[in-house]
Amino acid sequence: MAYDLDVMTVRRERRVTIPISVRLWGLGSDGKVFSQNVKTLNIATSGARLYGVTAALERGFIVGLQCGNMRARFMVVWVGEKGSSREGQVGLRAAENGIWSVALPRAADDDFSAWLVDNYLATESSP
């Protein structure tokens, strides 16, 4: 397993650091439809970390992502806080089959959805 020392989170799959130009679209928290070109910071079989995102997004939102001719839906699992070094960044988790056209390590056989709920979605209801 790989470790992300920034947030001390155990990763279930390796990430590949690669800048890929992608198109991100969907409905923002401001109720407006958006479509913008952004880049990946890193990718994994089941997700991505993007930068250059200006759309108003929140955790749990479903967005579309296009890489070349491939399109897929992703769930926003985190959004960089305004004024922080992660402003304009978002973390995505694949809501369906991946779209990357590069060879990536296989995801672990463990049930990742339980980990996602424990580490991201459950904290939304915290005070």
Give the E-state strand segments of the chain in sequence order.
2-4, 9-11, 16-17, 21-27, 33-44, 47-51, 62-67, 70-79, 90-94
Q: Are 41 and 53 in contact (CB under 8 A)?
A: no
pLDDT at 122 over 50: no
pTM > 0.85: yes or no: no
pLDDT at 57 over 60: yes
What domains does the chain contain, in order, with CATH numbers? Answer: 2-105 (2.40.10.220)
CA angle 60, 20, 84 (to 5 degrees): 55
CA angle 95, 99, 103 (to 5 degrees): 125
Task: Give the pLDDT band of residue 23 (cuts 50, 70, 90).
Answer: very high
pLDDT 10s digits, 78-96: 999 999 999 999 999 988 6
